[in-house]
Amino acid sequence: GFMTDKSKFFSKLRIFVFPGLWELEGFGLVLAEALGHSLPVVAFDRPPMSEIVTPDCGLLVNPSNNKSLSKAIITLLTTKHHPKLSQHAHQLAQQKYHLLNEN
């Protein structure tokens, strides 16, 4: 739904999961916004998510395999490289989408 303070919402998250399956999904601005807030992401490996998420900032998983989604979420929540992924996420959002964390 509509949010007046996206930064407050994103600040409460450790990762962002976007398992979109709709064939007519648009650009996926919410993924770019999550990256701008330094959040590593998990998304299904299909356009447009596969055009936004890179291995440096998150994980793409097979949309027909729920176990791969669960495994990716657990991996991001427990990985030692989480801070590096967060840094890359923020850099990607700044460079590619000109989005900055509003804080």
70-93 tens-digit pLDDT? 999 999 888 776 667 777 777 777
pLDDT given for residue 100 in this prediction: 52
Mean pLDDT score of the chain, rounded to an integer? Answer: 82
Confidence band for 99, pLDDT divided at 50, 70 and 90: low
- Angstrom CA distances, 3 to 10, 29, 62, 79, stand at 11, 14, 30, 30
Euclidean distance between CA atoms 43 and 5, whole angstroms: 23
pLDDT given for residue 26 in this prediction: 63
| Residue 9 tokens, joined | 């919402």
37-58 pLDDT, tens digit each: 889 999 999 888 888 888 888 8
Is the CA virtual torsion 92, 94, 97, 100 positive or negative? positive
Instruction: Indicate the pTM of the whole model.
Output: 0.77
